[in-house]
Structure 1
Amino acid sequence: MKGILSVLNEWTAKIGNFFKNLMSKNESNKGASSSQHMKNSMSGLRLENPIKSVGMKLFLIFLVSILFFVLTVGFTSYNISKGVIQKKVADASEQTIIQAGQKLDIMYTVYEDLSMQILLDDEMKRLLVDSEAVNKGSYDYLQMRQKISDKLNVYTYSNKTIKALHLFRPTGEPIAASGGSTSKETLIQEPWFKKITDDNGRASWIETRTSGFVDTSSGSNTAAFALGRVLKNTSTNSTQAVLLMEINVDAVGKELADIQMGEGGQTIIITPEMNIAYATDKAAIGKPTVLDITPDILKDEARSAMNGKKDLQLVYYKSAKTGWYLLGAMPIAELVKDAKAISNVTWIMALVAALIAVGIGILVAKMIGKPVIMLRNLMKEGEQGNLTVRMNVQSQDEIGQLGHSFNQMMEKITVLVQQTNRSAQEVLETATELSDASKKTATSAKEIAIATEEIAGGASSLAVESERGNELTHSIGMQMKAVVNSNIVMGTAATDVQKSSEQGIQYMSELILKTNATEEMTRNMVEKVDNLKESTRSIRKILEVLSNVSKQTNILSLNATIEAARAGAAGKGFMVVADEIRKLADQSRQSIAIVGQITETIQKEIDETVKALSNAYPIFQEQILSVKEADLIFKEVQSHMGGFIGQLSEVTESISQLDASQLVLNDAMTNVSAVAEESSATSQEVASLSSEQLNISSGLVRLSDKLEQLSNSLQESLSKFDV
């Protein structure tokens, strides 16, 4: 990549120098005088910034476009092929890992079956029961332990991958081992021992330890993983012993020896806690994995994933027996190394495309950039005032047409400048004559304007005073009309108030009558409620009598029942009648109780009604007094409004007389103001015409001076052009 960039920088510098050298060349095939002048002027014009030229821009467009498409196609092909190769290898490796994992599950099943065989061994059960009954310090106990060890050795010899078999008491105390020697320490605090006892008879797989689990007589420190089970007494379901089967980790290595994950790849077994249970590197066993793997990555059912750094392709299989993961890790860089050839070819093609773009750019610069720069330099000459420059047109394309149009434009501009120069001279002579005549006219107009302004000033003062008097009389008349209208409104309002007070008096009389009737009705209601209260007392007395009757009837029915019982069979009919009477008495008593409750409720409601009416009666009394006072107030308002209406009539008559006098005065002031305004308008019109004439004369003088200045400036500007 750095090599390509250096080549591009070198070619960019060469193209820049080409454009700089292009500007230093002289024009040929022109007229003798004009071509020599143009050569001298163009020799000092060079391209200040080659990047801004049209040729360089077209070159960069070709270069970037070609490189973009070549690199896009190449790297797209590279990424697609890399993904396909990675997926195919991952699929093949996944099948290999699944098959290996299934083989390991079969091996794990063999060990579980062997542990179950030990659990079901009747002789082993008998020896364990007998060892519990023997004194631990006696010779018989040693003999018993030896027999158990011999029994375990039989299973060890049957499978060479088993490192050792151990039996422990539930308290962690060792019983026997397949080598004849056991640990002297209790192992109840060991995490793996607690896991076995917690599983309560199920097979417990314990991850690999580099030096084993229990010290044996052989002193071997080879790595091993273990299988544990709890042995129970079938009759009492109590725990007899704890079995620990240590398995050499090389047993797994033999099953995985044929698996190859490619150069830099590895095959390991890890636990759900991400600790290594098996690896070809024995030093890594029992330690956390360094492959940047988390449990979340291995939860996917696809059995294929990427590690956290995205640099390893992972394929895995979770054992149904141990719950451990058989993991194959392959470096992605190694998987896709064959696809690197596409990337290298892409860079080579990009370099070739860059060289082609450079060639095309130089060709375009010669065809387009050189004529455009030449035309730009000729236009700069024309900008400095040289209108004799022309472009030597040889091609018939758009550049040639542009040069031809430039030559025609310069010829027309030359003719226009010559005509303008002649016209400017004529305008300058005319402006001088016009300036002299304007100065004489301005002097005369100034004297006339001074005289007319004095006349107009006096007429304006008279008109202003008369206008002010007219405005004052008009304002007084408007105020008088407003007073008359207000007086009429007040009279109408006073009449309405008087009518409203009369209606109020009438309404108050009716309200007094209705209030008295309401008071009478309230008094009658209180008397009727008192009578109703007495009636409820009478009902309660009647209910008490009926209650006593019900009680006596109940007693009589009870006596009749007793007598019927004494009479025996002869009194059964009478007993039925007595029982019905007793039921009727109970129903009567219940009905009387209900009626009593209703009567009690009515009594309470009557008491509350009497209390409410007693509280409302004083309020009615106060309302009657308030109504009578309001009636007196309405009558006083009616009396006062009658006198107020009489006074308003007298004021209205006086204002009407004053309004008639004001109309006469207003007509007189209007006539005076009209005459003054007419005089002032005439004077002002004369003064305005004189001022306007003076302004026009002054403007003519200014325009004449300005026209003279412009003529001189135009001549100076045209003198810069060479025609």
Structure 2
Amino acid sequence: MKLAAQTSRSKRSGTSAAGSVAESLQNMRMTHLMKSVGAKLFLIFFFCILFFVLTVGLTSYYKSKQVLQNKVADASEQTIIQAGSKLDLIYSTFEDLTMQMMLNEDLRATITNLRATGRDTYDYMNLNRLVNEKLNVYAFSNKSIKAVHLLTETGEPISSTANTMGNDSRAEKDWFKKIIEGNGQAVWLSTQEKGFTDGVLGNAQPTFALGRILKSPSTSQITGVLLIEIGVDTIGRETESISMGEGGSTIIVSDTNTYVYSPNQEQLGKESKLDVPEDAFKEGNGKLTSIKGDYQIVYYKSQVNGWNFIGYMPVNELVRDASVIFNLTLGMALGAMVIAVIIGYFIARMIGRPLVLLRNLMKEGEQGNLRVRMDVKSQDEIGQLSVSFNQMMEKITALVQQTNASAQEVLQTAADLSDASKRTAMSAKDISIATEEIANGASSLAVESERGNELTHNIAKQMKSVVEANVIMGTSAGEVQGSSKQGITYMSELIGKTNETESMTRSMVEKVDNLKESTRSIRKILDVLGNMTKQTNILSLNATIEAARAGAAGKGFMVVADEIRKLADQSRQSIAIVGQITEQIQKEIDETVQVLSQAYPIFQEQISSVKEADSIFKQVDTQMAGFIERLSEVTESISQLESSQSVLSDAMANVSAVAQQSSATSEEVASLSSEQLNVSTGLVKLSDKLEELSNSLKESLSKFQV
């Protein structure tokens, strides 16, 4: 009967709970839609189907796109290779032409004769015409050649098929330096926007060039530097015939990464801006994709000059046919989305509703209603969860009833324990205060005695420092006295040496005066020699006149007279030089006399200063002797004071030891009393806390309905 009553009670509570759950489900459906398990299952199922459909479709799209791109790239690569081979034939034709010119003995001989002939002669004009005619023969042999230039190895123009090449040297041009470095090998030069003649050729059309040093095969003697300018349209015709699709193009880039040919004329001769890595064209030919992935690039490296023939095309144009697969993938994904929505809705409804009902029952249990139960209808995992929920609520109800009874007993015990703890704490507090006062007095005594002990130790250290300082001062005073005696000796020697220096200076002044008089005598002698030179010149002139009158008989005498005149001129020049040197010596002697006259008073002052320093050293010696005697008396007094200080320090050490022991004992007693007070206070707090917890537990249990 009791079990039947409980069952009927559970069914009634489950029915009422189901009604309340239905109402709350209606109110909370939209609020917690995204947080429910049903919504999550729906989204998982929906996105999984959509993910797999899109993955298969997009994988097929990108795979077909890659296959199309590779096929077109392979076909374009073969086209580029074939066109590049044709360009190599064109390049080889020009290289063969330069080789013919280098091996042409007649041309080399004519150029050699031209360079050996003066520019302003008729032969030079005739040879220049012959060279120009020979160059025109080669230039007209190929319509692609715009001009043929011939220069010296220093860059000076020799001849040209163009109207004019100017007279300026090309030695500083980069292209000329490359030809010289080639040392007879064919050197290909990238396109110049205005050609290699600085705009004087025609309408300054862009050209690329081939250069080579002409030299004799047998002697390796350089004949000249050859430069052939070739029109860009020569290679443009070959590249324009190749179609790279809409948006694509073909270009030729030199080994220095500059445009040799481009459909855009403004790019010729400028640095290439292809979006590729630096070492992209290291192979002979191949295919690659730009760094950004927007262009497919195929290339062929020339085996003649190393230039890259490059074709590029937009990737979007290559894979345009693959867009059908992409559109089909989007359609299938849309259909899969509709199917996923329908299936996901039924799965969410089948699993989500029981879970929402169980969640609402648990919320009621959270509010304190332990009488709620779940109505079990299914035998799956959700049904088993409902049975476990009902059993859990039964056990929680029994546990709450038992805990309520225990809480009453704990509350009564906590009140009794609190009263006893408060009385114990009052007694411990009084004992702690008395013990603390005793400990404070002992600590003060220990501190004062310790301070006195430290003061005595400090005084003892200072007394030792004073004694040591006195000893050092006595030693230093003795050293100073010895140094002063040594200084007196040195000063005496210095006075004697200074007197000797004064005598030597006075003697030097007298000798310099004598030297001054000697230079004046030399000056007078030089004046006499000068007059003799003038008279000799006059005699030589008279002899020349007489020899001229004598005619042929006086020619020998005229030669002698001319030699005498030359000798007189040389003597005059030598006397003038000696006079300048004598004047310079005279000037320096005057300056020396002036300096010695200024130095003599300074020597006098130096002697006076040395004598004063000697007297000062003697006074220092006398005063240091008296200072050493007084320092000895002070040292003896300090030694007696140090003995008295040692006795005082021992006494203060004994007092400090007794005071510290007394203070330690008092502090230990105070610590024990304080610890007892803390224990009592903690016990009171624990009793109060236990009482608060008991009341809190009672209030919490009163919320449950059992």
TM-score, normalised relative to structure 2: 0.51
Partner of 1:356: 339
Instruction: Choose which of 165, 168, 174 in structure 1 pairs with 2:157.
Output: 174
Q: What CA deviation, in whole Å up to 9, does each residue of 1:298-325 have, x standing for no partner?
A: 1245622334444333222211211211
- The aligned amino acid for 1:131 is L
Q: What CA deviation, in whole Å up to 9, does each residue of 1:675-698 have, x standing for no partner?
A: xxxxxxxxxxxxxxxxxxxxxxxx
SS for the counterpart of 1:299 is coil
1:254 aligns with 2:237: yes
Shift of 1:408: 8.4
CA gap of 1:167–1:200, structure 2 versus 1, over 3 A, is same
Instruction: Choose which of 85, 91, 114 in structure 2 pairs with 1:102.
Output: 85
1:271 aligns with 2:284: no
CA gap of 1:38–1:281, structure 2 versus 1, over 3 A, is closer
Partner of 1:68: 51
CA gap of 1:55–1:154, structure 2 versus 1, over 3 A, is same
Matches within 5 A, 1:692-703: none
Q: Distance in 1 between matches of 2:389 and 2:218?
A: 120
1:292 aligns with 2:275: yes
Partner of 1:327: 310
CA gap of 1:386–1:296, structure 2 versus 1, over 3 A, is closer
SS for the counterpart of 2:34 is helix
Partner of 1:617: none
Partner of 1:462: none
Shift of 1:354: 3.2
Does the 8 A contact of 1:181 with 1:216 survive in 2? no
Instruction: Choose which of 5, 19, 27 in structure 2 pairs with 1:39.
Output: 19
Shift of 1:383: 5.7
CA gap of 1:393–1:260, structure 2 versus 1, over 3 A, is same
1:365 aligns with 2:324: no
SS for the counterpart of 1:170 is coil
Does the 8 A contact of 1:277 with 1:285 survive in 2? yes
Question: Tell me, which stretches of 5 or more residues in structure 2 are unaligned?
Answer: 1-9, 413-690
SS for the counterpart of 1:349 is helix
Does the 8 A contact of 2:370 with 2:704 survive in 1? no
Partner of 2:508: none
CA gap of 1:248–1:385, structure 2 versus 1, over 3 A, is closer
Q: Distance in 2 between matches of 1:198 and 1:373?
A: 89
CA gap of 1:389–1:276, structure 2 versus 1, over 3 A, is same
Shift of 1:226: 0.7
Q: What CA deviation, in whole Å up to 9, does each residue of 1:192-245 have, x standing for no partner?
A: 222223322221111111111125875331111111122224565322222211
Matches within 5 A, 1:109-128: 109-128=92-111
Q: Distance in 2 between matches of 1:72 and 1:343?
A: 11
Matches within 5 A, 1:273-672: 273-300=256-283, 303-381=286-364, 399=382
1:54 aligns with 2:37: yes
Partner of 1:190: 173
1:241 aligns with 2:221: no
SS for the counterpart of 2:111 is helix
- The aligned amino acid for 1:289 is S
1:210 aligns with 2:193: yes
CA gap of 1:380–1:212, structure 2 versus 1, over 3 A, is closer
CA gap of 1:56–1:172, structure 2 versus 1, over 3 A, is same
CA gap of 1:403–1:142, structure 2 versus 1, over 3 A, is same
Shift of 1:327: 1.5
Q: Distance in 1 between matches of 2:16 and 2:193?
A: 98
CA gap of 1:387–1:185, structure 2 versus 1, over 3 A, is closer
Matches within 5 A, 1:704-715: none
SS for the counterpart of 2:211 is strand
SS for the counterpart of 1:103 is helix
Shift of 1:38: 5.2
Partner of 2:71: 88
Q: What CA deviation, in whole Å up to 9, does each residue of 1:271-311 have, x standing for no partner?
A: 22211111111110111111134542212456223344443
Q: What CA deviation, in whole Å up to 9, does each residue of 1:312-362 have, x standing for no partner?
A: 332222112112111122333433343344444444433433333332222
CA gap of 1:140–1:77, structure 2 versus 1, over 3 A, is same
Does the 8 A contact of 1:272 with 1:295 survive in 2? no
SS for the counterpart of 1:328 is strand
Partner of 2:127: 144
- The aligned amino acid for 2:273 is V
Task: Number of aligned residue pairs: give it.
Answer: 413
Shift of 1:180: 5.2
Does the 8 A contact of 2:247 with 2:314 survive in 1? yes
Q: Distance in 1 between matches of 2:255 and 2:34?
A: 63
Q: Distance in 2 between matches of 1:208 and 1:88?
A: 33
- The aligned amino acid for 2:184 is G
Instruction: Choose which of 179, 183, 190 in structure 2 pairs with 1:200.
Output: 183
Does the 8 A contact of 1:273 with 1:295 survive in 2? no
CA gap of 1:282–1:302, structure 2 versus 1, over 3 A, is closer
CA gap of 1:42–1:156, structure 2 versus 1, over 3 A, is same
SS for the counterpart of 1:136 is coil
Does the 8 A contact of 1:41 with 1:381 survive in 2? no
CA gap of 1:369–1:293, structure 2 versus 1, over 3 A, is closer
- The aligned amino acid for 2:215 is K
Shift of 1:34: 7.4
- The aligned amino acid for 2:123 is D
Q: Distance in 2 between matches of 1:393 and 1:235?
A: 114
Q: Distance in 2 between matches of 1:267 and 1:200?
A: 33
Shift of 1:248: 0.4
SS for the counterpart of 2:51 is helix
Shift of 1:108: 0.7
Does the 8 A contact of 2:13 with 2:371 survive in 1? no
Does the 8 A contact of 2:179 with 2:212 survive in 1? yes
Does the 8 A contact of 1:182 with 1:216 survive in 2? no
Q: Distance in 1 between matches of 2:266 and 2:344?
A: 63
SS for the counterpart of 2:76 is helix
CA gap of 1:380–1:126, structure 2 versus 1, over 3 A, is closer
Does the 8 A contact of 2:163 with 2:201 survive in 1? no
Partner of 2:639: none
Partner of 1:219: 202
Does the 8 A contact of 2:132 with 2:159 survive in 1? yes
CA gap of 1:164–1:50, structure 2 versus 1, over 3 A, is same
1:229 aligns with 2:212: yes
Question: Tell me, which stretches of 5 or more residues in structure 1 are unaligned?
Answer: 1-29, 436-705
Q: Distance in 1 between matches of 2:13 and 2:279?
A: 89
Does the 8 A contact of 1:297 with 1:307 survive in 2? no
Does the 8 A contact of 2:370 with 2:397 survive in 1? no
Partner of 2:556: none
CA gap of 1:37–1:312, structure 2 versus 1, over 3 A, is closer
Does the 8 A contact of 1:175 with 1:182 survive in 2? no
Does the 8 A contact of 1:272 with 1:323 survive in 2? yes
Q: Distance in 1 between matches of 2:196 and 2:332?
A: 63
